[in-house]
Structure 1
Amino acid sequence: MASRAFHLLVSAIVLSSAIVVSDAAGSVGINYGRVANNLPSPEKVVQLLKSQGINKVKLYDTAAAVLTALANSGISVAVALPNELLASTATDQSAADNWVQSNITKFYPQTKIEAIAVGNEVFVDPKNTTKYLVPAMKNIHASLVKWKLNSSIKISSPIAFSALQNSYPSSAGSFKQELIEPVIKPMLDFLKQTGSYLMVNAYPFFAYSANSDQISLDYALFKDNPGVVDSGNGLKYHSLFEAQIDAVFAAMSAIQYDDVKIVVTETGWPSIGDENEIGASEENAASYNGNLVRKVLSGSGTPLRPQDPLNVYLFGLFNENKKPGPTSERNYGLFYPDEQKVYNIPLTQEELKGWQSTPVKTSTSRVPVSGEVKTQVGQTWCVANGKAGEEKLKAALEYACGEGGADCNAIQPGAACYNPNSLEARASYAFNSYYQKKTRAAGTCEFGGAAYVVSQRPGMLFYLLNYK
């Protein structure tokens, strides 16, 4: 087996780049989600961010361990007040004060908190917390005023693109009527009064995947294309992303809020998806994110706001293996949990010079199958279900290595992949060998409930199988 240290060294050399943003350019940050059980420690994550020159990160909470790790790192941080706390902070100023004291002033200024996202995509929250949003934003702001932090820390709330009633053509962009008076206008008033900006989550992938017969893939990925002329204002669009952002600008303009800026707090493209998730692939993810970074670093804005540089947070930092929903939800990361890049994209002006929107993978992931090495392209794996119990795992392992014909030589005592010496690790090796041997056919990763399929390369398997 090739040395893992050597592989990581090569990755580090390939990836030792920084996001260099001039004053005239927009900014690129990244979302650091943690819905996973296999991520590096916050301290290691901070080192990863710094090694890549990423100086802006957005969190989905105010976890003390993460905020402590980010202290004195030079990385600007946007934190979040979760939706479940909207009601209490909206109706009780002391609750807002306590939250700010426990989660903001305790860490600031050592940790460069620059924004608070009050809630996340509240309008589509099934618990119907919309009525609490603006009051919660106001109370959190009042708390910041008490500690004289209101000029340093902005308050906003990310809205999903689905808050729009109409988005095509962009010039006809409008908010859903039932949201305008109760929450959109009061929120935009608040943002205007406090000098803040509207946080928007925009995913062209969703629109493309649902309408691939009508939307050009090149248009969705910022690739060369003839463009789409907006019939309302005559502007020509060469990317779906810009069209979506201008639809939000148009929606704000329609209710007389032309002077509120936008920060795109989430955007990205999945590297793996289910069969019905058209367009989900490493190549397309690399093209979308790489071309978006190029657009942002160019300093140019959208056709409707050409002089306003774009500011975006890519989603996301890691593939998160515990996120519910379709396969794509667990595969938006730029990095695997072992800190390797899923694909290469340029993150500096220098890298952009020779970059083409075809991904160059940082490595070739390989899974040994019956003594062979096969290249992973949109692969799935079979892993042991640790909750199945020792008895069931042992029986399934015996079958896989016996009648099943799995290649289990490497996990015998003293063999190359015997360690880590655990039943679950060895069972995962055997189950995956059997699954790959059966060409990943349906039903070949069940073993009576002792195994399940994953679409993200498992860290444990990577350790076991490594590279031949």
Structure 2
Amino acid sequence: MYAFSTTTAMLSGMLLNLIGLLLMLTLQIAAGNSIGVCYGDSADNLPSAQEVIDLYKSKQIGLTRLYWEKPEALQALRGSNIGVLIDVPNYSLQEFATNPSAANSWVQNYIVNYWPDVRFRYIAVGNEAIPGDLAQYVLGAMRNVYNAIVSSTLQDQIKVSTSISSGVLGNSYHIPSQGTFTDESRPYLEPIVQFITTNGAPLLINVYPYFSYIYNPNDILISYALFTSQANVVTDGQFQYQNLFDGMVDACYSALEKVGGSNVEIVVSESGWPSDGGTAATIENARTYNSNLIRHVAQSQGTPKRPGKVIETYVFAMFNENLKKPEGIENNFGLFYPNKEPVYPIDFP
């Protein structure tokens, strides 16, 4: 009887350890599939694309965003298993909207020719083009890119969307449940939301608590922007918010609900904090924000409105980029200097 009980206990302990290990591995895999870094290259002093992708791999960064078709980067990504969000640049929107063959050629040349060696996840048709002069072309370009993806039978693997600025929400993040798209943006976004709902794609949004803070320093605590508040700051009905990032994401969810997009997921296609060049732009603040952002996403906590829902997020950016305009903070969002040395210590799960 004693031997049986001991054996049973040992087996139970082994089973619990195995379950714990599997849970830990599952969380690590989920985190690795939910945190990326944007690979911008508005600079004349960056390493080669192969060196950059090798740096991604050495730091265990599992996702990247490319802002235009960059053959050297796509070649370096072959076989890397790094998930890719790739943009159709804004300068191509009008052509892609009015010329389906142009969209099809782009998909063939820069998606199909690299698939499946390059693990594309999303195509962002335009970046922050709404509102503006190019807004009228976004949906048409999305349709033609999507049709080209369907023709290549990749619609279940690669989702077509667009990336928007959180500016399309106005200041509604103060009370997330009141989130709504601005009058200037809604005529463009409402049909886009219908389109991505039909095709099962997420909405991509760039979320910057930094800019919200510096434009509203009297209304927003810096601790709320940096994820360092020790208490809830905003109470919105049944939901309480301890950080501005969640408030901004949930404001977008509220806006989606108001235009028939209740089932649309959100992917944060950019978020970051500059380390120099402007108000509150310090190395310490940048390290604090990005470290806390990565931890928040990796823990798969979701937001008060979508608890437990992984918020796939792309940190902006891999490098400080010396050619970005206007000069100042825009040049200092990088996690690394062009020589590949870190701007500050930061870990990825």
Q: TM-score when scaled to structure 1?
A: 0.67
Instruction: State whether structure 2 residue 248 is matched by structure 1 residue 241.
Output: no
Q: 1:415-448: CA deviations, max 9, x gaps?
A: xxxxxxxxxxxxxxxxxxxxxxxxxxxxxxxxxx
Q: Which residue of 2 aligns with 1:459?
A: none
One-letter identity of the residue aligned with 2:263: D
Counterpart CA distance in 1 for 2:106 and 2:60 is 31
| Counterpart pick for 2:212 among 196, 207, 211 | 207
The answer to whether the 8 Å contact 2:33/2:63 transfers is: no
Q: 1:62-104: CA deviations, max 9, x gaps?
A: 1111101111111111111111111111111111111111221
Instruction: State whether structure 2 residue 59 is matched by structure 1 residue 52.
Output: yes
| Counterpart pick for 1:167 among 173, 176, 181 | 173
The answer to whether the 8 Å contact 1:246/1:302 transfers is: yes
Instruction: State whether structure 2 residue 75 is matched by structure 1 residue 68.
Output: yes
Q: Which residue of 2 aligns with 1:366?
A: none
One-letter identity of the residue aligned with 1:281: T
Matches within 5 A, 1:144-223: 144-165=149-170, 166-180=172-186, 182-223=187-228
Name the SS for the 1:23 alignment partner.
Answer: helix
Counterpart CA distance in 2 for 1:313 and 1:185 is 24
Name the SS for the 1:266 alignment partner.
Answer: strand
Name the SS for the 1:40 alignment partner.
Answer: coil
Matches within 5 A, 1:6-405: 21-23=28-30, 27-125=34-132, 128-165=133-170, 166-180=172-186, 182-231=187-236, 233-273=237-277, 277-348=278-349
Any unmatched runs of 5+ in structure 2? 1-26
Q: TM-score when scaled to structure 2?
A: 0.89
One-letter identity of the residue aligned with 2:91: E
Q: CA deviation at 1:25?
A: 8.1
Counterpart CA distance in 2 for 1:286 and 1:195 is 35
The answer to whether the 8 Å contact 1:26/1:309 transfers is: no
Counterpart CA distance in 2 for 1:25 and 1:270 is 24
Q: CA deviation at 1:284?
A: 0.4
The higher relative CO (CA closer than 8 Å, separation ≥ 6) is in 2
Q: CA deviation at 1:112?
A: 1.4
Q: CA deviation at 1:178?
A: 3.4
The answer to whether the 8 Å contact 1:219/1:225 transfers is: no
Counterpart CA distance in 2 for 1:203 and 1:187 is 22
The answer to whether the 8 Å contact 1:167/1:174 transfers is: no
Q: CA deviation at 1:214?
A: 2.5
Aligned-residue sequence identity (percent) comes to 38
Counterpart CA distance in 2 for 1:272 and 1:250 is 33
Name the SS for the 1:88 alignment partner.
Answer: helix
Q: CA deviation at 1:169?
A: 1.0
Q: CA deviation at 1:161?
A: 0.6
Counterpart CA distance in 2 for 1:325 and 1:62 is 23
The answer to whether the 8 Å contact 1:25/1:300 transfers is: no
Distance of aligned partners of 1:258 and 1:205 in 2 relative to their CA distance in 1, 3 Å threshold? same
Bigger shift: 261-270 or 105-114?
A: 105-114
The answer to whether the 8 Å contact 2:193/2:259 transfers is: no
Instruction: Give RMSD over aligned pairs.
Output: 1.5
Q: CA deviation at 1:218?
A: 1.1
Q: CA deviation at 1:346?
A: 2.8
**Higher gyration radius (CA):** 1
Counterpart CA distance in 1 for 2:156 and 2:311 is 22
